[in-house]
Amino acid sequence: MKIEFSKYVPVGISHREEVQWIGTALLLAFFYSLKFFIAYGQGYNALFYRQNSQKIFFQDAYMPDFVVLLGHSLTGFAIIALTMLGLIAYHYAFHYQGSKSIYLMKRLPSRWELWRRCLSIPLTTMLLCLLLSILLLLIYYAFYMLITPAQCLPPAQWQTLWQVWMGGI
Amino acid sequence: MLEIKKVSKYYGTKRALDQVNLCLPQGEIIGLFGENGAGKTTLMKCILNYVRYSGEITLDGQPINRKNIARISFATCEHSFFPTLTPQAHKEFYQLHFPRFDARRFTGLMDFFALPLHKAVKHFSAGQKNQFEVILALSQGADYILMDEPFAGNDVFNREDFYKVLLGILEPHESVLLSTHLLEEVENFISRALLIRQGNIVGDISMLELDESGKSLLDFVKETYHYQADRVRKALRDLTGEE
């Protein structure tokens, strides 16, 4: 099934350009999220020292909490999602540029045409940001739980994550 | 029949329309005249539901909504086309959204005005943009064609040609509500004149009645507006001190 993106942007806006910009932004947000692995690597390396190329774990060594290592890794997606509010405003305002095509859009028999064109891509991107954030959160969490040696794993990581996030709100 | 009953519109505390009552039957070309800010544009915006108003506007007894809005088209001097699109792309867009779009009329009018089909409208001259705006309104397949000063920026030859074409192409079921300041130009081409002042309809006369009374449209407007013929003389006397 081929999606005709041109139906989902205001008439006259290049859908290709818009999709490319959003795709690039999502990719950058993804790359930024990889900094979790840098933090993880630093935390992991602090758990042990090497003796004759053998890993010797410090006594009572614990990995930092997952939420600490995660830090602001997923912030990029939140920023993109917020930017989409601006894109909605831009899409609407576009109908006032060079003419008042808003007059035509508002009197189309199809009730949702204007809103479909103004909202579709921003809302889809917001949803995509949410889904990617959840997916990456789960992947990074699974990585944290599977790779961290059991004796170094602090307890109740999932609860801690939510406690910190909810406390932050 | 487009019926406007007790329609009022306020912008903040400023009254733009005051209890306007009007009946616009099908098959008429109606001139809407009035000074700047009299309420001409606001009246059209109310008909098209662009602004909230009090009162009632119906089309054949039904409120104007998405089901019947395609029966009304609008040409405005502010332009409602998409500037980056070509006329050909506009045609496709209109065909998609207005089932009664008249492609034959569109092509005929494009040819008549010698407008290019494959050039973005933003590259048109001011006059060509107006022509294109009007072509779209006439081709939509609407029964009521609202035109809000559509010829601002067009030269007199263009306007003259346009009136002739309009008279020639309009079907008996099509009505035009034309807001303009060009009284003398449209005098022979409209069938009825409406005068609006400070949000009130202060004059409503058929051109037949006007003919019978032996008055010109300009006389009628001046009379209805209580035009002070000696205001120029007074102003000059005050300014120059000369009699």
Of the candidates B50, B76, B122, the beta carbon closest to that of A106 is on B50
Instruction: Give me the sign of the Cα torsion angle B21, B24, B25, B31.
Output: positive
Torsion of CA A134, A137, A138, A140, to 10 degrees: 160
pLDDT of residue A169: 52
Torsion of CA B151, B47, A110, B1, to 10 degrees: -100
Query: If you average pLDDT over residues B128-136, what whole number do you get?
Result: 93
Contact B40, B148 (CB under 8 A): yes
Q: Is the confidence at residue A38, as pLDDT, over 70?
A: yes
Confidence band, pLDDT 50/70/90 cuts, at residue A1? low
Residues pairing with B192 in the sheet = B30, B206
Cα separation, B24 vs B27, in Å, equals 9
Of the candidates A11, A99, A106, the beta carbon closest to that of B79 is on A99
pTM of this structure? 0.86
Query: If you average pLDDT over residues B34-53, what whole number do you get?
Result: 94
Contact B142, A108 (CB under 8 A): no
Q: For residue A11, what are the domain limits?
A: 5-167
| Contact list, B85 vs chain A (CB under 8 Å) | 11-12
pLDDT of residue A57: 87
CATH code, B196: 3.40.50.300
Q: In chain B, how long is the greatest CA-to-CA distance?
A: 66
Contact B30, B190 (CB under 8 A): yes
CB-based contacts of B105, cutoff 8 Å, min separation 6: B138, B139, B169
Q: Is the confidence at residue A168, as pLDDT, over 70?
A: no
Element (H, E) at B130: helix B126-139
Backbone region of residue A163 per phi and psi (left: phi > 0; alpha: psi in -120 to 50; beta: other values): alpha
Q: For residue B22, what are the domain limits?
A: 2-240
Instruction: Provide the percentage of residues in chain B whose pLDDT is more than 90.
Output: 71
Convert the pLDDT of each residue in A61-80 to its tens digit.
899 999 999 999 999 999 99
The whole-angstrom distance between residue B61's C-alpha and the CA centroid of its chain comes to 22
pLDDT of residue B97: 95
Cα separation, B138 vs B124, in Å, equals 19
CB-based contacts of A145, cutoff 8 Å, min separation 6: A153, A157
Neighbours of B84 (CB within 10 A): 19
Name the DSSP class of A65. Answer: P
Q: Can you list the alpha helix ranges (DSSP code H) found in chain A? A: 15-33, 35-45, 66-70, 75-94, 102-106, 113-147, 157-168
Give which of B16, B35, B9 is closest to B179, Cα–Cα.
B35
Question: In chain A, how many domains are there?
Answer: 1
Task: Verify whether the Cβ–Cβ distance B93 to A109 is below 8 Å.
Answer: no
- Lowest-pLDDT choice from B45-49, B65-69, B77-81, B164-168: B164-168
Q: What are phi and psi of B93, to 5 degrees?
A: -65, -45
Q: Is B48 on the interface with A (CB under 8 A)?
A: yes
Q: Is the confidence at residue B129, as pLDDT, over 80?
A: yes
Q: Is B123 on the interface with A (CB under 8 A)?
A: no
Confidence band, pLDDT 50/70/90 cuts, at residue A165? confident
Convert the pLDDT of each residue in B211-231 to its tens digit.
898 888 888 888 887 766 677
| Contact list, A101 vs chain B (CB under 8 Å) | 80-83
Convert the pLDDT of each residue in B64-111 to its tens digit.
999 999 999 999 999 999 999 999 999 999 999 999 999 999 999 999
Instruction: Give me the sign of the Cα torsion angle B130, B76, B69, B72.
Output: negative
Question: In chain B, how many domains are there?
Answer: 1
Cα separation, B138 vs B147, in Å, equals 10
- Lowest-pLDDT choice from A101-115, A120-134, B32-46, B180-194: B180-194
Q: Which residues of A, range 95-124, sit inside 8 Å of B by Cβ?
A: 97-104, 106-111, 113
Query: If you average pLDDT over residues B159-165, what whole number do you get?
Result: 81
